[in-house]
């Protein structure tokens, strides 16, 4: 009780110098203790029983409350069971604004796309072309390895598959965001996406998805019948991939099946068939490559993934991530070497493949998995891995 009297005396002294409103003072002094009356006399003389908290009272400006207009902080030594009552009867000071994160730099979408179309461009990730590169490279590898010895690859096919990569990647992102909109608004990196932020409605997203698929159909119809069937079958993977993170710790493997379908389709568009000796190792290499880069990418969201209850290889591998992705990287390079050997590529293929292996080893050995920015940098650098492999296939085919 002596402490209560001391607290009341301190408040009266503060009130004389800078008056507090009567309601706030009375609510403070009348706040009941959660302890029993007997306990309030502190019969236990231990330090724990007499623990106190320094409670900071923050005065609000007159525009926000009935408090005096000047901002004032008073520190009062009170028993710990007062902390909740004081927090309820006080407000944060506007003199200490919360630090705001700096906005991201403007992209070409912000500078060149009309304002009404920007949410759709963001939905298709046109501002982040790395996903398109990662989808397009296996297609380019396959088309080039299918070229006749000593000749350049079919440029028309390269252009068609490049446009198809933009459209299919955009459609995949739209499906992903539609299904994950209730998760994205809980994850720091994704809460600004069009559906999670409320800029676009699901019905608008479905309409945009239909538009993208219609354009994709126009590209698919320019291929041979074998390729049309093979290409259409990939839609099952595209539509089901976003659900995998809810059921398995290996959604990155499923993404590998989806993102590297072009390794099958590119060869079929040229040859109207599949050669398992060449294409299956190439497809396997792409899947292993995806497991490397998307596991690194998933480490950006591992804390949020735990919070919302979704799964990833980043959570599955944990502290052993570098060992796992080193194994997948070695399998990727070995499969690429086998595919090139079975396709009779010339000697320039192997120096380029060695350079690609060095780039992959650099990623794995230097990535800081606890650093989101570094994970993203290493992830984006995979466009150069794909370019090195493509260059090796191109020059290897020209001299074969």
Domains of the chain (ranges plus CATH)?
111-399 (1.10.357.140)
Residue 105 is classified by DSSP as P
Rounded distance, CA 197 to CA 190, Å?
Answer: 9
Residue 173 to residues 11, 110, 134, 209, Cα–Cα distance (Å): 59, 19, 14, 9
Task: Encode pLDDT of 191-231 as tens digits.
Answer: 888 888 888 999 999 999 999 999 999 999 999 999 999 99
- pLDDT(161) > 70: yes
Banded model confidence at residue 27, pLDDT cuts 50, 70, 90? very low
Integer-rounded Cα Rg, in Å, for the chain is: 31
Pull the structure tokens for residue 190.
């994704």
CA atoms lying within 13 Å on the CB side of residue 318: 3
Q: Say what the pLDDT of residue 180 is.
A: 84
Q: Give residue 35's pLDDT band: very low, low, confident or very high (50, 70, 90).
A: very low
Statement: residue 273 has pLDDT above 90: yes
pLDDT at 41 over 80: no
The token duo for 92 is 């944060």
Q: What is the pLDDT of residue 215?
A: 95
Residue-level pLDDT at 327: 97
Predicted local confidence at residue 72, as pLDDT: 36
pLDDT, residue 17, reads 56
Predicted local distance difference test score (pLDDT) of residue 356: 98
pLDDT at 233: 92
How far apart are alpha carbons 249 and 313 in whole angstroms?
5
Which single residue is written with the structure tokens 């408040």?
A: 11
pLDDT level of residue 106 (50, 70, 90 thresholds): confident
Mean pLDDT of 145-153: 95
The yes-or-no verdict on residue 263 having pLDDT over 80 is yes
Give yes or no for a contact between 128 and 192, defined as CB atoms under 8 angstroms apart.
no
Q: How confident is the model at residue 244 (pLDDT cuts 50, 70, 90)?
A: very high
| pLDDT at residue 308 greater than cutoff 90 | no
pLDDT tens digit sequence for 332-363? 999 999 999 999 999 999 999 999 999 999 99
Alpha carbon dihedral 40, 41, 43, 45, in 10-degree steps, equals 100
What pTM was computed for the model? 0.73
Q: How many residues does the chain have?
A: 400
pLDDT value for 368: 96
For residue 55, give the H/E element and its range.
Answer: strand 52-58
% of residues, the chain, pLDDT over 90:
59
Residue (of 355, 351, 357) closest to 330 by Cα position = 357
3-class SS of residue 107:
coil
Q: How confident is the model at residue 20 (pLDDT cuts 50, 70, 90)?
A: very low
Summarised one tens digit per residue, pLDDT across range 367-376 is 999 999 999 9
Per-residue model confidence as pLDDT tens digits over 44-67: 444 444 433 333 333 334 334 333
SS3 77: strand
């Amino acid at each position: 009780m002596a402490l209560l009297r001391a607290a009341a005396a301190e408040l009266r002294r503060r009130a004389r110098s800078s008056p507090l409103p009567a309601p706030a003072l009375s609510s403070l002094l009348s706040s009941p203790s959660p302890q029993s009356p007997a306990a309030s006399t502190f019969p236990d003389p231990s330090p724990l029983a007499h623990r106190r908290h320094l409670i900071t009272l923050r005065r609000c400006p007159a525009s926000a409350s009935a408090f005096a207009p000047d901002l004032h902080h008073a520190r009062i030594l009170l028993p710990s069971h007062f902390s909740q009552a004081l927090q309820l009867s006080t407000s944060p000071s506007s003199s200490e604004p919360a630090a705001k994160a700096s906005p991201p730099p403007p992209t070409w979408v912000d500078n060149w796309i009309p304002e009404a179309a920007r949410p759709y461009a963001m939905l298709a990730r046109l501002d982040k072309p790395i996903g398109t590169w990662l989808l397009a490279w296996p297609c380019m590898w396959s088309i080039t390895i299918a070229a006749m010895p000593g000749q350049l690859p079919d440029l028309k096919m390269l252009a068609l598959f490049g446009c198809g990569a933009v459209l299919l990647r955009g459609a995949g992102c739209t499906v992903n965001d539609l299904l994950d909109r209730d998760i994205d608004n809980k994850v720091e990196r994704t809460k600004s996406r069009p559906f999670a932020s409320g800029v676009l409605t699901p019905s608008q997203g479905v309409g945009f998805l239909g538009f993208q698929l219609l354009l994709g159909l126009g590209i698919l119809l320019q291929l041979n019948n074998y390729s049309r069937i093979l290409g259409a079958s990939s839609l099952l993977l595209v539509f089901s991939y976003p659900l995998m993170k809810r059921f398995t710790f290996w959604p990155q493997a499923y993404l590998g099946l989806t993102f590297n379908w072009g390794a099958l389709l590119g060869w079929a568009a040229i040859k109207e068939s599949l050669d398992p000796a060449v294409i299956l190792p190439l497809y396997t290499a792409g899947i292993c490559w995806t497991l490397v880069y998307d596991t690194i990418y998933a480490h950006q969201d591992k804390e949020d993934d735990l919070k919302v209850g979704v799964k990833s290889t980043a959570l599955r591998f944990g502290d052993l991530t570098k060992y796992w992705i080193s194994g997948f990287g070695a399998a990727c390079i070995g499969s690429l070497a086998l595919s090139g050997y079975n396709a009779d590529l010339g000697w320039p293929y192997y120096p380029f493949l060695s350079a690609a292996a060095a780039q992959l080893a650099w990623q794995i050995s230097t990535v800081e998995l606890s650093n989101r920015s570094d994970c993203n940098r290493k992830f984006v650098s995979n466009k150069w891995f794909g370019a090195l492999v493509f260059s090796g296939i191109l020059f290897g085919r020209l001299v074969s």
